[in-house]
Amino acid sequence: MDLYTEADTDRDEFWARQARRLSWASSWSNVLDWSAAPVARWFVGGRLNVAYNCVDRHVEAGLGSRVAIHWEGESGESRAITYAELQREVSRAANGLASLGLVAGDRVAIQLPMIPEAVVAMLACARLGLVHSVVFGGFSPAALRSRIEDAAARVLITADGQFRRGGAVPMKPGADEAVAGTSVEHVVVVRRTGSSVDWSERDLWWHDLVDAQSDTHVPESFDAEHPLFILYTSGTTGRPKGILHTSGGYLTQAAYTHSVVFDLRPESDVYWCTADVGWVTGHSYIVYGPLANGATQVIYEGTPDTPHQGRHFEIIQKYGVTIYYTAPTLIRTFMKWGADIPAAYDLSSLRVLGSVGEPINPEAWLWYSEHIGAGRCPIVDTWWQTETGAMMISPLPGAETKPGSAQRALPGIGASIVDDSGVPVGPGETGYLVLDKPWPSMLRGIWGDPERFRETYWSRFSGFYFAGDGAKYDSDGDIWLLGRVDDVMNVSGHRISTTEVESALVSHPSVAEAAVVGAADETTGQGIVAFVILRGGADGAVEELRNHVAKEIGPIAKPRQVLVVPELPKTRSGKIMRRLLRDVAENRAVGDTTTLADSSVMELIAKGLA
Ligand code: WTA
């Protein structure tokens, strides 16, 4: 019986079997309680410790000398950390955090570069039942601050600075700005760059807090539904949502998918996921999935072109990477750099290639297959979201793959494509992707906002989770993802909301009004194009506006283009017609303007831009 049939025959029993991959302090009474839908309870009454599952149990199984992490610094320094060492480090860090008076359920914000301490800090939180909220290093102090405030974090763990493209970039000044006047009682600072930092009473060096602690720590077990982390992501409104994930179901699906989708062989594979721990991919496929499975992985600190454009291939060759998991935007960048670069390295260790974050166009898929995978590695195109916690739609290696299609829901997962009224569409018709059955790693809510949780995901189609993506079936019934259907942009695989960028723009004194669209971009998937109306007398300081957005949200949200316009196209009810602006941004003839309140606006805009 294959996995699909097994899952279809008895879904609860299927998921129970997947949960038994983990080590439970006490078992559950029933697999799923969906009576309070849309808030699920999985593995009801079961108890476990997530960090114990990711670290200690491998040591107890005699695998203490297996390398958990091959860490590669941007400058070429490296460190191999075995599971036994990881256990000692996590224990010390847990003892350190506990000494600050933190107790299970408290929130800890983490903003760290890709260094081993990031993984250790997350696992130390999990070990103590503390809820981590990791904030991507590229987010601004203002963005970090709003996340700290929303979750009322008691501690921030950060670094003095990080290495980026060969230089040291300070982080501590931003952290100071972010925590001032918030609930944060202590800022724990990892020394990474050695640059001098301002210091106040609430600050503590990580090494002072952690190094002298005992390297043993007895893990307590927590309820399967104990909160594990909050991770903020962009939605259609200006305010990011704190997506809440819990313990047992999340870890079950992270471990299961990491194992079956990559056909993982923990004793021989060297796995590498190129994401940052600041995103959900880093949570599920650097920290929790791979470590729960006892895998050996590479973690790389730097950018793919530092110090040269062959850096990733050099790392694959150096460590004999067998599974490589990355984003289409990087593949398209490699394409631009040229096939002779990967060709100069020995990539023969590679066995499975993965893609995530945005639809992969067939050209990029084929290039990935041929120039990285030498035509012999299956590619798994994995569709999922921060909200889903783990992979949902993906081929399994060994299946016949199709360039550009994520193909089908994984065993145990229910997905379907429906029209406006919730009726499944036929082959070739475009519809909305919905998830029609609860899944173990589903979000349990939006932190502090149960109403928004129902409204955002569960109100559009009764009984179904609305993902926000468009999709279609082909004639074989395979699924093709078509990108977001809401006001969320996807720039280099990063989710950014149009309204968030608009809010940042109008917070600038010279901007009267702003409208933002994601325009097709050859490398980044989408690029941010902003249309702004300036206040009377303000001159067109376009560069200043771009930098202003970077300062407010972070460099990832910096618009590719800011266009100054006299008017914005609006419907009679005052809604901005982004579709028309997208036409302008993508240099197309402007579409139907009949619903505009003033149909001459588009001519005005075109004239102004000409
Ligand atoms: C998009 C990232 C097509 C999609 C794990 C989704 C994809 C959003 C794919 C979630 C894929 C992710 N094919 N589109 N394989 N993977 N997406 O929360 O629009 O950062 O809704 O999670 O990325 O982005 P998020």
Percent of the chain whose predicted confidence (pLDDT) is above 90: 90
Q: Is the pLDDT of residue 219 over 70?
A: yes
Q: Which of 236, 383, 391, 497 to mutate to test the pocket of ligand 1 (most atoms within 8 A of CB)?
A: 383
Q: Is 3.40.50.12780 the CATH number for 3-370?
A: yes
pLDDT at residue 269, as a whole number: 98
Query: What pLDDT digit, counting tens, does each position of 282-297 carry?
Result: 999 999 999 999 999 9
Atom 11 (ligand 1): residue with closest C-alpha?
383
Q: Which of 288, 353, 384, 405 to mutate to test the pocket of ligand 1 (most atoms within 8 A of CB)?
A: 384
- 500 neighbors 553 (Cβ within 8 angstroms): yes
Token couple for 17:
């079997």
What is the domain partition of the chain in residue ranges? 3-370, 415-484, 488-609
pLDDT at residue 540, as a whole number: 63
* Interstrand relation of 430-435 and 465-473 (parallel, antiparallel or unpaired): antiparallel
Going from the Cα of 357 to the center of ligand 1, the distance in angstroms, rounded, reads: 4
pLDDT at residue 600, as a whole number: 85
Q: Is the pLDDT of residue 239 over 90?
A: no
Going from the Cα of 97 to the center of ligand 1, the distance in angstroms, rounded, reads: 34
Number of Cα atoms under 13 Å in the Cβ half of residue 248: 30
Per-chain mean pLDDT for the chain: 95
CB atoms within 10 A of CB 588: 12
Atom 23 (ligand 1): residue with closest C-alpha?
357
Going from the Cα of 204 to the center of ligand 1, the distance in angstroms, rounded, reads: 37
| Rounded-to-integer distance, Cα 95 and Cα 337, Å | 47
Angle subtended at Cα 97 by Cα 95 and Cα 103, rounded to the nearest 5 degrees: 100
Number of Cα atoms under 13 Å in the Cβ half of residue 243: 22
Q: Which of 385, 433, 486, 487 to mutate to test the pocket of ligand 1 (most atoms within 8 A of CB)?
A: 385
H or E segment at 495? strand 494-497
Atom 13 (ligand 1): residue with closest C-alpha?
359
What is the position in ligand 1's atom list of the atom closest to the CA of 279? 20
Q: Is the pLDDT of residue 132 over 70?
A: yes
Q: Do domains 415-484 and 488-609 have the same CATH topology?
A: no
The pLDDT confidence band at residue 1, using thresholds 50, 70 and 90, is confident
Q: Is the pLDDT of residue 116 over 70?
A: yes
Q: Is 260 helix (H, G, I), strand (E, B) or coil?
A: helix
Atom 12 (ligand 1): residue with closest C-alpha?
357
| Rounded-to-integer distance, Cα 173 and Cα 165, Å | 20
CB atoms within 10 A of CB 185: 14
Going from the Cα of 238 to the center of ligand 1, the distance in angstroms, rounded, reads: 19
**Range scoring the smallest mean pLDDT among 159-163, 422-426, 507-511, 598-602:** 598-602
Q: From residue 91, how far is each of 85, 127, 293 by CA, in Å?
A: 10, 8, 19
Amino acid, single-letter form, for residue 12: D
The pLDDT confidence band at residue 191, using thresholds 50, 70 and 90, is very high
Going from the Cα of 521 to the center of ligand 1, the distance in angstroms, rounded, reads: 17
The dotted CATH code for 415-484 is 2.30.38.10
Query: What pLDDT digit, counting tens, does each position of 378-422 carry?
Result: 999 999 999 999 999 999 998 998 999 999 999 999 999 999 999
Helices (H), 340-480: 340-343, 362-367, 450-453
Q: Is the pLDDT of residue 22 over 70?
A: yes
Look-up of token digits 């097994």: 6
Going from the Cα of 509 to the center of ligand 1, the distance in angstroms, rounded, reads: 34
The pLDDT confidence band at residue 610, using thresholds 50, 70 and 90, is low
Query: What pLDDT digit, counting tens, does each position of 547-574 carry?
Result: 999 999 999 999 999 999 999 999 888 8
What number is the average pLDDT over the span 218-230?
A: 98
Q: Is 159 helix (H, G, I), strand (E, B) or coil?
A: strand
Atom 22 (ligand 1): residue with closest C-alpha?
385
What is the position in ligand 1's atom list of the atom closest to the CA of 393? 15
| Rounded-to-integer distance, Cα 70 and Cα 287, Å | 13
pLDDT at residue 592, as a whole number: 86
Query: What pLDDT digit, counting tens, does each position of 35-69 carry?
Result: 999 999 999 999 999 999 999 999 999 999 999 99
Q: Is 3.30.300.30 the CATH number for 488-609?
A: yes
Residue 176: closest CA among 141, 137, 139: 141
CB atoms within 10 A of CB 503: 18
DSSP 29-98: SEEEE-TTTTS-EEEET-EE-HHIIIIIHHIIIIITTSEEEEEE-TTS-EEEEEHHHHHHHHHHHHHHHH
Going from the Cα of 502 to the center of ligand 1, the distance in angstroms, rounded, reads: 22
Q: Is 154 helix (H, G, I), strand (E, B) or coil?
A: coil
What is the position in ligand 1's atom list of the atom closest to the CA of 355? 15
pLDDT at residue 469, as a whole number: 96
Q: With left for phi above 0 and alpha for psi between -120 and 50, is residue 285 left, alpha or beta?
A: alpha
- 206 neighbors 188 (Cβ within 8 angstroms): yes
Going from the Cα of 391 to the center of ligand 1, the distance in angstroms, rounded, reads: 10
Going from the Cα of 495 to the center of ligand 1, the distance in angstroms, rounded, reads: 8
* Residue list, ligand 1 pocket, CB within 6 Å: 233, 279-281, 356-359, 381-386, 406, 467-469, 481, 483-484, 490, 495
Query: What pLDDT digit, counting tens, does each position of 487-532 carry?
Result: 899 999 999 999 999 999 999 999 999 999 999 999 999 999 999 9
